[in-house]
Amino acid sequence: MPALLSLSGHLGLLASLLPSPSLTAIYRRIVDHLSNHIVQRAILAGWSRFTAAGGKELEREVAAWVSSSSLALGSAVRRPAAPWRRLEEMAKVLALDDDGDNEQVGWDELLDALRSGGSGAPIDQLELRVLDRAELEQVVRRRVDCTL
């Protein structure tokens, strides 16, 4: 919570002082740095391993970062969620349930599609726009139940 309040406060101050184009550029650099740090330290670090529940918690935390940023910036920055997309997609993959329903891809379905080497419907259903296949496989390997 303190980190969210700090980010929100700083972004709100910047939004009140800077013109929109400058604010947008600075905001994107801040989020790129912050999200890269989270990815490197919390997701891809050798010691970190996730369960589906841990992935869901990460998903909620990322949503809080995005929401806090959006509220602090108001309408000063178009698409404030865009720079968070890579982190959102990683959290989405880590949060997959063991068995998906008709509308959502299941963890086992994703593993089967990755093992087969094709992109396949399960991977397409995830609608990943930022993560490429290599990054997807790297993230999948962070789950404790990965059998790749």
Q: What is the pLDDT of residues 43-52, one digit of tens each?
A: 998 777 999 9
CATH number attached to the domain at 2-140:
1.20.58.1970
Give the number of C-alpha atoms closer than 13 A to the C-alpha of residue 12, restricted to the C-beta side: 10
Token duo for residue 64: 């809080």
What pLDDT sits at residue 148?
81
In the predicted structure, residue 29 carries a pLDDT above the cut 70:
yes
What pLDDT sits at residue 45?
84
Q: CA–CA distance from 106 to each of 39, 49, 101, 111 (Å)?
A: 23, 19, 7, 9
**Locus of tokens 């918690």:** 57
- pLDDT mean over 21-29: 95
Q: Which of 131, 128, 5 is nearest to 65 (CA)?
A: 5
- pLDDT mean over 95-107: 77
**pLDDT confidence tier of residue 118, bands split at 50, 70 and 90:** low
Whole-angstrom Cα distance, residue 107 to residue 73?
A: 35
**pLDDT confidence tier of residue 135, bands split at 50, 70 and 90:** very high
Question: Is the pTM higher than 0.85?
Answer: yes
Q: Which residues 6+ apart lie within 8 Å of 52 measured at CB?
A: 94, 95, 96, 97, 98, 107, 143, 145
What is the residue extent of each domain of the chain? 2-140
In the predicted structure, residue 102 carries a pLDDT above the cut 60:
no
Q: What is the pLDDT of residues 59-88, one digit of tens each?
A: 999 999 999 999 999 889 999 999 999 999
66-54-91-145 Cα dihedral, nearest 10 degrees: 180
Whole-angstrom Cα distance, residue 13 to residue 7?
A: 10
